[in-house]
Amino acid sequence: MSDLTKSFDSVLNGVVDGNPRVPGVVAMVTDRKGNIYEGAAGVRDLSTNAPMTTDSVFAIFSTTKAITGTCVLQCVEEGLLDLDAPAKNYAPALGKLQVLDGFDDAGNPITRAPKRDVTTRMLMLHTAGFGYDFFNAQYNRLAEDHGQPSVITASRGSIETPLLFDPGDQWEYGTNIDWAGQVVEGVRGKRLGEVMKDHVFDPLGMSDIGFVMNPSMASRRATIHLRGQDGSLDPQTDLVLTQEPEVDMGGHGLYSTVGEYMKFIRMWLNDGDGANGRVLKKETVAMAVKNGLKDHQKVVALPGVIPWLSNEAEFFPGLKKSWSFTFMVNDEQAPTGRPANSIGWAGLANLYYWIDQKNGIGGFWATQILPFADASSFGGYIDFESTAYKQPALVG
């Protein structure tokens, strides 16, 4: 076993043996040519003790977003989509949405027309005005008191929500990329899952991925576990994203193995070139990884409004971050060693990835734990990424 493998394995074994522990984890690192580390530790499900394996299937939640963003960029390349045109031209339901201006004395929402149209650029940058009920108290109130459906339902009602502010006024992380997926559907005339298969998955040779799991994927699914306040873990064997989605949720709906996602990461490391052909033009990739926010649009910490779903979360507190199409950009070198202007993001059940184009490496860390920003899993991920930057073979 190589020293590199031993170093990464020790991180994975440490989190599954720790206290509080992580039930199971799969993690991989790739360079531009292929995976240079693949590891699995622990179990898929604490109620069955089925072992975690590198081909385990995960609900990848918001790591879905970058794939949807890629589909948007392809539409732009083909001249089918104008990022700065009103997005309602492609997804008409967007034109009916109002801005939430608080609640009246009876607790009913007060709404008004937005001052400007939502554009697809705003959707890609999370500046259109949409949020999530687990990160925003206003949306949580709409859910609790007025029946706004959870995005987990994959329903039209879950995204046809009021805007939290006038489009373009600020940055707020939310259902923007679900709407970007609706824009893609309007442009292509197909469901988002079909578009992803035709334009991303097939060109990259990705098969163990989709909004709906095939029987083989379902048999390898890792169970989501809830972390108790005492550090305990409760397997939620029935907590499965709907397999009959009304909407293909471009913001969170995919299931995948880590190995399949690594093919997508490699495409970004290779300036848009995939295993079976080019997915994006080199100049599109260069544009897509740069900060797209204006000075008044700041990336902020995510508050944990629904404690069982998310803790308060922020990558690299104190360091400047920005947003691109559709990644977080660390504008300064991260404590892990990740260089400035790298990209990455995360998924609600404690999945994390990074893409470092400068050094030509990227990685993905997958667990299935709620709430988000779990100290044991996130801490393990930070150790994992830091370990990569201590390997001379990877970063010279």
Q: Give the residue numbers annotated as catalytic, written as ranges.
A: 62, 65, 173
Distance CA 242, CA 93 (A): 23
Q: First and final CA of the chain: distance in angstroms?
A: 21
Non-local (6+) Cβ contacts of 50 within 8 A are 43, 44
**In sequence order, which residues have a C-beta less than 8 Å from that of residue 21 and are 6 or more positions away?**
15, 42, 233, 376
Q: Quick check: 362 and 269 in contact, CB under 8 A?
A: yes
Residue spans of alpha helices (H) in the chain: 3-17, 65-77, 120-125, 137-146, 156-159, 176-188, 192-196, 202-204, 215-219, 258-269, 282-288, 375-388, 392-395
**Residue 212 contacts residue 204 (beta carbons within 8 Å):** no
CA dihedral 363, 367, 373, 379 (to 10 degrees): -60
The whole-angstrom separation of Cα 357 and Cα 314 is: 22
